[in-house]
Amino acid sequence: MPSSPTGTPWVVLKFGGTSVSQRHRWDTIGRLAGKRAGEHGARVLVVVSALSGVTNELTAIADGASDAGARVQALVERHRAFAEALGLDAGAVLGARLDALRALAEDARATTRTLDWQAEVLAQGELLSSTLGAAYLASQGLDIGWCDARDWLDAIELPNQSAWGQRLSVSCRREADDAWRTRFAAQPTRLLITQGFIARHGDGGTAVLGRGGSDTSAALFGGLLRARGVEIWTDVPGMFTANPREVPDARLLTRLDYAEAQEIATTGAKVLHPRSLGPCRVSGVPMAILDTERPDLPGTRIDGDASPVPGVKAISRRNGIVLVSMETVGMWQSVGFLADIFERFRRHGLSVDLIGSAETNITVSLDPSENLVSTDVLARLSEDLAQICRVKVIAPCAAITLVGRGMRSLLHKLSDVWATFGQERVHLISQSSNDLNLTFVIDEADADGLLPELHAELIGSGAMPVQDASVFGPSWREIQHGPPVREPRWWQADAAHARLLELAAGETPRYVYHLPTVRERARALNAVEAIDRRFFAIKANPHPQVLRALVEEGFGLECVSQGELERVFEAVPQLDPARVLFTPSFAPRREYEAAYARGATVTLDNVEALQRWPEVFRGRDLWLRIDLGRGDGHHAKVVTGGAASKFGYPVAEVDAFADAARALDARITGIHAHLGSGIGHPRHWREVYAELAAVADGIGTVDTIDIGGGLTIPYKPDDAPFDLAAWAEGLAEIKGAWPRYRLAIEPGRFLVAESGVLLARVTQVVEKQGVRRVGLDAGMHSLMRPALYDAWHGIHNLSRRGARADAAFDVVGPICESSDVFGHDRRLPSDTAEGDVVAIADAGAYGFVIANHYNLRGLPREDVLA
Ligand code: LLP
């Protein structure tokens, strides 16, 4: 941990309830405290909470529970038993404290439950746990002494603070003079233990810090002592980019500045109470959140030295948000309207969180964690507000917040996020004036399942820069199960590797496809029982051998042009035309005629074609491609649904198409939707099926529902593979609800992407102003995906197999365009040199087929490994 400016020897370690309730946990505390004390002459202050559950019991007693006597007795017994479990003499260690607890229950103040009495009751938990801990750690040979936090932390009165707040939710003095520090340091033992949560009231009695109190105590001590650091030891590994229970791919945030950490704590993360950051922030003391059970993980370090990394650091969701929308005609520039409104919120003790304003409307949100927003309070507030405006209460809502530095400069990367919200009703968008957060308020029901999707989109779009290892640590999934174990890729096997080097000895660049991988993916899809018809979207890879392999595996072929149709029948001459789909976009009339002449199934996505070329479609069967009003995909340029997209017929106008078809005696036998490419969340397709089935029911002649392709593959090492099991399960379920349609799919990428590598040779290695670049003889003319979509492909130096990829390079091609970059900051062996053979992975889909001869550089070669 970096040392604080003054370099005092203190390190503050805080342990919460679960960390102090078992003997082996105390052994861990002893070990950690001893270790810290051994570092460069440090002294250690341990701050502890009460044993878990004890503060709840004490709260019940302080609240006047009718069975207070029994509860006190149970607490006495629990602590005695724990003392014995620690091998201590319970009477000698705890006797006086337990007497004090019993005496409080008998105290005259108990009948009126004065605030000072309540504070004293609440304080007993920490006094007991710290006393036990001091005795146990000393018995284990640690040079540790006990001190009373009330001798060191002084409660202060804040303006407008209620008497309750001044006793039971106090703030404490954050400054201390050298004399204070000298006195503290004069305590004889090298290690000290004290209580979290409690402080001295101005009248000499006890006060407590309220929620998050122990963390705040640790931070206060850290600030007052100008400590080297404050470590909050808890039962989670730190702060994450999202709640790991909801988003297993959430990443551990290993380094944050105070402001970001504050924002994340305030808008969602429960690991650190937002109050506890302030004391360390003002004195520049670094904090760390660490996991008692997994002390080797890096945890979250929070300090002021971190050089700001722009980008979204976290996404959170708060439920139970209440929106109050206030409409008036008389507001425009009227003096004091806002004051009138807010005065009424104040009257009902409500603090406002977010605000949106328009000429005639003000909408504000109330956060239940900061307010008591009962229906009663809301009814009274509405009544009051109704005197000056029209009021509407919208609840329950969820607030979804993106936190990170420089939010305003990230807007261009948030298009996928905006698009996702396009499907929900957004009541309010609010951007904080410190440029640290952006919040969307939507109906609570709409927020279910949304976070994993948004999280993936933030990563995919680059808005959350997870490649920056100084900030983003392992994912929760990885922490629990270890790093993702990817099956070795086909080209990593010895024989395949040798074969690739052999092929590369010929001309490069060249694509190599591995048919066993294609067949394996085909079989995985064949195993999904809910699916009745499978087509391969040949646009992804129309190599004849790939087509033949997939036809052999039972796939039909989906074409989008006459050229593709011809390729299909050339490659597989005996192919039954019933297994061919034709799904063009803005194709000329003759291509539709050609497709019908071939006997293929023709899909149409506009009514104008029916009107202008009635003779092409008269008496024919056809499929209708529908736009469900939204799109999806790994990049804006592969989204094929929604008003801005050229694809599909608007779902709301299907009746008009059906009428036009009927007039020509044409039958709609299938309906189809393909809303985009590179989609990772399996629920997408079941939703599409459900929506299409409802449309099909209305048409009446439909027998097949085609839910498109779009399944993604894991391009990056930490991408989770597409969850085929969840996908299959969703399809089985929805098919069960609408069993009378045949279910068709038409994936491209999923079947072929991983089967292909692009082999290239290193042309030059150049360093320019600190950036090292590896140039290849392949470029954006050979593989367009990085230039077109910022797509990520693994890059591997096959000539230096086994060497550590220990240096960072930008990998570029030979084309005269700035977008001719395969990847920035890629790890390759540092001795990568001219002539090395490099493989660009997962290039089997949308690779060769989009290659071109720009700069008059030739097309790549193609080889197939059967
Ligand atoms: N069906 C239709 C109607 C399509 O337009 C597409 C792809 C597919 C199926 C197959 O989608 P897939 O399963 O491969 O995602 N060049 C872009 C992808 C463009 C996809 C165009 N349509 C890329 O390299 O990411």
Per-residue confidence at 7, pLDDT binned at 50, 70, 90? low
Q: What is the whole-number distance in angstroms between the Cα of residue 462 and the centre of ligand 1?
A: 21
The verdict on the CB of residue 674 being under 6 Å from ligand 1 is yes
pLDDT of 2 above 50: no
pLDDT of 3 above 60: no
* Segment 583-601, tens digit of pLDDT: 999 999 999 999 999 999 9
* Segment 597-640, tens digit of pLDDT: 999 999 999 999 999 999 999 999 999 999 999 998 888 899 99
Radius of gyration of the chain (CA): 33
Contacts of 825 (CB under 8 A, 6+ apart): 467, 808, 809, 810
Site to probe by mutation for ligand 1, drawn from 518, 533, 539 as the one with most ligand atoms within 8 Å of Cβ, is 539
pLDDT of 67 above 50: yes
Per-residue confidence at 274, pLDDT binned at 50, 70, 90? confident
Q: Give me 510's structure tokens.
A: 């060249």
Which has the closest alpha carbon to 115: 155, 159, 75? Answer: 155
Q: Give me 144's structure tokens.
A: 């540790």
CATH number of the domain located at residue range(s) 313-464 in this protein: 3.30.2130.10
Atom of ligand 1 nearest to the CA of 633: 15
Site to probe by mutation for ligand 1, drawn from 637, 749, 849 as the one with most ligand atoms within 8 Å of Cβ, is 749
What is the spatial distance between Cα 86 and Cα 174, in angstroms, rounded to a whole number?
Answer: 35
* Segment 238-250, tens digit of pLDDT: 999 999 988 988 9
Which residues is 864 bridged to in the sheet?
A: 513
What is the spatial distance between Cα 116 and Cα 164, in angstroms, rounded to a whole number?
Answer: 10
pLDDT of 860 above 90: yes
End-to-end CA distance of the chain: 55
pLDDT at 478: 87
* Segment 639-661, tens digit of pLDDT: 999 999 999 999 999 999 999 99
User: Strand order of the sheet with strand 390-405?
Assistant: 352-357, 361-366, 311-327, 390-405, 437-443, 426-431
Q: What is the pTM of this model?
A: 0.68
pLDDT of 264 above 50: yes
Rounded (5°) CA angle 514-718-403: 145
CATH number of the domain located at residue range(s) 754-865 in this protein: 2.40.37.10
pLDDT at 537: 98
Q: Give me 217's structure tokens.
A: 């105590």
Cis peptide bond prior to 396, omega within 30° of 0? yes
What is the spatial distance between Cα 557 and Cα 814, in angstroms, rounded to a whole number?
Answer: 35
Nearest CA to ligand 1 atom 9: 709
Average pLDDT over residues 316-333: 83
Average pLDDT over residues 431-447: 88
Site to probe by mutation for ligand 1, drawn from 640, 677, 850 as the one with most ligand atoms within 8 Å of Cβ, is 677
User: Mean pLDDT over all residues of the chain?
Assistant: 93
pLDDT of 467 above 70: yes
The verdict on the CB of residue 625 being under 6 Å from ligand 1 is no
State which amino acid sits at residue 493.
Answer: A
Per-residue confidence at 306, pLDDT binned at 50, 70, 90? low
Atom of ligand 1 nearest to the CA of 753: 14
What is the spatial distance between Cα 265 and Cα 258, in angstroms, rounded to a whole number?
Answer: 10
Catalytic residue check, 816 = yes
Q: What is the whole-number distance in angstroms between the Cα of residue 460 and the centre of ligand 1?
A: 17
3-state secondary structure of 758: strand
Nearest CA to ligand 1 atom 2: 674
Neighbours of 441 (CB within 10 A): 27
pLDDT of 700 above 70: yes
What is the spatial distance between Cα 866 and Cα 857, in angstroms, rounded to a whole number?
Answer: 29
Q: Give me 299's structure tokens.
A: 């945890």
Which has the closest alpha carbon to 395: 420, 359, 427? Answer: 427
Per-residue confidence at 329, pLDDT binned at 50, 70, 90? low
- CATH top-level class for 514-748? alpha beta
Residue appearing with tokens 């990056």: 716
Question: Domain residues of the chain, as ranges?
Answer: 10-235, 313-464, 514-748, 754-865
Residue appearing with tokens 């193609």: 862
pLDDT of 4 above 50: no
pLDDT of 48 above 70: yes
pLDDT at 460: 77
* Segment 747-782, tens digit of pLDDT: 999 999 999 999 999 999 999 998 999 999 999 999
Q: Which of 36-45, 223-232, 359-368 has the highest mean pLDDT?
A: 223-232
What is the spatial distance between Cα 247 and Cα 63, in angstroms, rounded to a whole number?
Answer: 38
pLDDT of 486 above 80: no
Which residues is 207 bridged to in the sheet?
A: 199
* Segment 116-137, tens digit of pLDDT: 999 999 999 999 999 999 999 9
Report the interhelical angle of 562-571 vs 589-598 (nearest 10°): 20
Is 3.40.50.11710 the CATH number for 10-235?
no
**Least confidently predicted of 50-59, 66-75, 418-427:** 418-427
pLDDT at 505: 97
Choice among 389, 397, 559, 816 that is catalytic: 816
* Segment 511-554, tens digit of pLDDT: 999 999 999 999 999 999 999 999 999 999 999 999 999 999 99
Q: Give me 360's structure tokens.
A: 């005639």
The verdict on the CB of residue 537 being under 6 Å from ligand 1 is yes
Which of 853 and 387 is assigned the larger pLDDT?
A: 853
Q: What is the whole-number distance in angstroms between the Cα of residue 676 and the centre of ligand 1?
A: 7
